[in-house]
Every structure is written in C-alpha cells, then in structure tokens.
Copies of this chain bind each other. A is one copy, B any other.
C-alpha cells in the first residue's frame, strides 16, 4: 500500500485548465463561458464542497477570454472560495428567489451582449441546467442581445483528458475500491440480508480510506440478478444466488466505478458461462483501448465477444464510459460515439449481457489509456466467477 496522493491541486493546474479553455474559446469565437454545475465549477476553480447536495442555491463561474475565472456565488460559499486561486468573487445573500444572482450575472454579461460577443453555456449531452429554468429565461429576457452557444464539446474535450494528478487520485480510489471488494468474501454469507451487506460494504470502503461511498447498487438472486440499479432488498443471500455489487467510491472528489460478481455457495453453469464471456469481452476491451481507436470500435470489439451469448444489444445502452469527477462522464462506448481515444483518458469497460429468462450480468473495470495501451486502475476481476 503506497502513500496518499496530496489533496487538491496546485494553482498551476487550474491556470493550465483555464488557459486551455480560453484557447478553445478564442478558436470558436466565444467571449466567455458561463458554468454552473458542480464538476465544472470545481474543475476551473478548485471549489470543493458537498453543499451542492442542497438544491436551494445556484452557483456560477464565468471564464472570460483571458485572466482568472470570476465566481458569482452565494455568500455562504465566499470563505471557501477565497481559499481557491480566484481573485474576483462576487456574492449575494442567497437564497433570494427574486434575484438569485441574476443582477450580478446581468452586470457581468451586459457588456458582452452589447458588443455582440457570444458566450458558451453547457446545453448538450450528459448536462443539466443547474439553476431554475425560469431564472435562466429571465436572464435571457434581460439580455436579449446575448448570444448563447453550446459549449459542451469544448468542456468535454478538456475534461476527458486527465492530468497526472487527476489520474493519481482516480488510481488511489480504485485501489481502495479493489481492497474493499477483496473483503466481500468475508462480509457476505448465506442468510445475510442484502441491505446489511450494502451497509457493511460502505463501512469497509470508508475503513479502506474512501472519503465516501455515495454510489452502491447491485442485486442478488437465484441463478442471476435481473436489475442493476436497485437499492438493496432485505432478502437474505441464499445458496445459488449470483450477487453483484457496483460501487462509485470517492476520494478527494474523484470516483472509481466498477463492479464484481460472486456466486453464493455454488454457481450454476449459465452464470459461469455468462461470467466467462464478459471477462473475455473486458479483456478484448482492455486490449483494444488504445490511442487512436474510437469508442465505437471499442464498443464493437466488446460486443463481438458478448454476441457469443447475447446479440440483442442489452438494456444498458453502452459498454462503458469516461470516469473522473463524476461517476459517469463522456465519452460512451456505444455505436453513436465516434470519439477518438487519446492518451490519459480514464475509462470504464462495462460489458453486459442478458441470459436465461431475463437474467442480466454486468462486469466492469477501470483503465487509464497510456501511450502504449491501457493500464488497469482496478484490480482485475477473477478469471472465473468466484464462489463465496
């Protein structure tokens, strides 16, 4: 077990991210970028708080074409924001339903509107508008000349490529996740309600060093589970069950996201076969995840192995995705995604299939793509379905 990475990032990292964004803004004729989601505000400022779990207050970060980002935030966040590399922090007493930051945004954006200079807002795939839609519409009505361009592609292009410090954090939480999964044979046993196993898994993840284990889903059922997003039932684990746990644990704001399958007491042939196919599909994915490959090719490579058992395409919609500050990030390993894989992308490989009468199996690993190919960040799952 190696030492801990450092928390946070040096100022130079935020400056480099900002400069890269500004170069792309200049190239696409954008005079600014208005960001309001947790990951983007944190990516450019370093502002890190769980307070985003409260939906009450909006938070804004504006990237001008040059210079540091400008924060437009509720007063409750001022002290924490002053600890970041930002200089220009504008606050209001929030919540204030009549004017939750709108006047401050109007002051900031009016000169751009008057000068006919467009700004970017993230409006695309895998984004949300993290402010009231009514307030957004009011802001647009107050700045009728402000041109808004979708900046999802710009931010996506930056965030998909991880820095070494980001990779170090993700590797750290993946190692914690691996050690936690390694304890499952001690934690799980016949007769234990699934709900209690979830609780024990979370406690173990914290003991292994996770800051939190916010995402934990899974299932267990005789001969295979049928659903991969449920909360746990009180049903006790029984001999012949296939158990799956899928976790997103967090360290310093970065996620792991992988799962493991186990058979309780004994494994049926169909589940062992499904496991074997998925293990080999993952292996093919690890081999194929190279610089210059597209996500579509990676998808097809894994799908070709899965088709030995299931050629229906499944219900999950893709066979893996990006990973970092969010549990799931761009890109998607899917037929629609032509993203070219680049060095230092962190990805999940997540093949899945249906078998038997509506049973489902998923398998997942986390990798970082290096110059010479993929490196595993999660400890590779056992070659055959492990029996507890």
Contacts and interface: CB of A to CB of B under 8 A. Distances in A.
A78 B228 CA distance: 11
A96 interface: yes
Interface in A45-73: 48-51, 53-57
Interface stretch (A106-114, A209-217, A260-268): A209-217
A232 to B, nearest CB: 9
Contact of A51 (B51, B98, B121, B229): B229
A11 interface: no
A357 interface: no
A228 B76 contact: yes
Contact of A128 (B53, B55, B313, B328): B55
Contact of A202 (B95, B125, B206, B326): B206
A229 B336 contact: no
Tell me which of A80, A133, A213, A321 has the highest count of chain B C-beta atoms within 10 A of its own C-beta.
Answer: A133
Contacts of A127: 55, 132-133
B228 A53 contact: no
A304 interface: no
Nearest to A200: B206
A212 B211 contact: no
A372 interface: no
Contacts of A317: 57, 74-76, 93-96
A30 interface: no
Contacts of A144: none
A80 B232 CA distance: 12
B76 A316 contact: yes
Interface string A310-345: 000101111001000011100010101000000000
Main secondary structure of the interface of A (DSSP, over half): loop
Contacts of A51: 217, 229
Given A76-B317, A93-B317, A125 B100 contact: yes
A305 B296 CA distance: 63
Given A133-B127, A134-B150, A214-B214, A49 B229 contact: yes
A123 interface: yes
Interface in A122-142: 122-134, 136-137
A168 interface: no
A13 to B, nearest CB: 18
Interface in A70-100: 74-80, 93-98, 100
B326 A95 contact: no
Contact of A126 (B95, B234, B332): B95
A129 B137 CA distance: 12
A102 to B, nearest CB: 12
A199 B214 contact: no
Nearest to A129: B129
A226 interface: yes
A204 B95 CA distance: 32
A271 to B, nearest CB: 18
| Closest 4 pairs (CB-CB, A-B) | A123-B134, A129-B129, A51-B229, A75-B315
20 contacts: A49-B217, A50-B231, A54-B326, A56-B126, A75-B317, A76-B228, A76-B229, A80-B229, A80-B230, A93-B315, A95-B125, A95-B126, A97-B124, A100-B125, A124-B134, A129-B129, A133-B136, A202-B212, A203-B206, A203-B207
